[in-house]
Structure 1
């Protein structure tokens, strides 16, 4: 049975001004644990992008009608064979698989978050947990 090698947790308010804090936290985790385990800068860039998209979606969409004091929790779990990122929000549940991919000939100013997450992740799930929160799980 595999065990978690390293784990970290961050809680921030639902406000895009915490974007840099989320990125710095991920970068610190990456430098301390992922680089030394052979993860490439390219892999880390894509994972950071998926994390940022998940956080941004939680702020802009899931928490749109909620006060900015509503928290977003993020957890990183490094296993021997994978990294799991979890982002919890308190928005209304929905199925991201129903979000259509933008057409290549139709540039949009938004709507690419789920496309990026789908392409970066080996596996992703967005589901409701028992605490009436949604959890975005991104596995790579």
Structure 2
């Protein structure tokens, strides 16, 4: 692993700006050309994952409930982990909307899966959920 960092913020949509500035700083300081080319995709997936944690996983929890974000960087891949304390959720149960149809909500999971090389969401033994977003360099 080349580099890692962690940010803990409250469950507030207005903290998205801080999350994205932190992510931008992490990526620009890494100086990996492939990371620059995928920055926008991962940044959008991170924004979607963070806002989903606030709006859905923590909807019934106090705004002080922390959301923990970990960034792990290797030479050929970046992993983003968004940890929440919401209830159990199985995204494999979501039905992807048909092209051309309109639906309120439910697009974020499918958007993240298109933006990243791997996306999963798992609950650990401590009752925390982890959204894991992985983006690889084109060379890997």
Relative to the length of structure 2, the TM-score reads 0.91
Of residues 120, 123, 133, the one that matches 2:128 is 133
User: Within 2, Cα distance between the matches of 1:98 and 1:38?
Assistant: 37
1:33-72 paired onto structure 2 within 5 Å: 33=30, 36-39=31-34, 41-72=36-67
Instruction: Find the counterpart in structure 2 of residue 111 from structure 1.
Output: 106
Deviation at 1:109, TM superposition (A): 4.4
| 2:6 counterpart of 1:6 | no
Q: Secondary structure at the match of 2:2?
A: strand
Write the deviation string for residues 49-86 of structure 1: whole angstroms up to 9, x where unpaired.
00000000000000011111100000000012211100
| 2:29 counterpart of 1:32 | yes
4+ residue runs of structure 1 moved beyond 6 angstroms?
none
Q: Aligned-residue CA RMSD in angstroms?
A: 1.3
Q: Secondary structure at the match of 1:39?
A: helix
User: Within 2, Cα distance between the matches of 1:107 and 1:42?
Assistant: 31
My pick for the range that moved more, 94-103 or 16-25, is 94-103
Count residues in correspondence.
135
Relative to the length of structure 1, the TM-score reads 0.91
Write the deviation string for residues 79-133 of structure 1: whole angstroms up to 9, x where unpaired.
1221110000001111112111122221234322101111122112111112210
Matched-pair contact (CA < 8 Å) for 2:122–2:129: yes
My pick for the range that moved more, 22-31 or 40-49, is 40-49
My pick for the range that moved more, 101-110 or 87-96, is 101-110
| 2:4 counterpart of 1:22 | no
5+ residue gaps, structure 1, are: none
Deviation at 1:47, TM superposition (A): 0.2
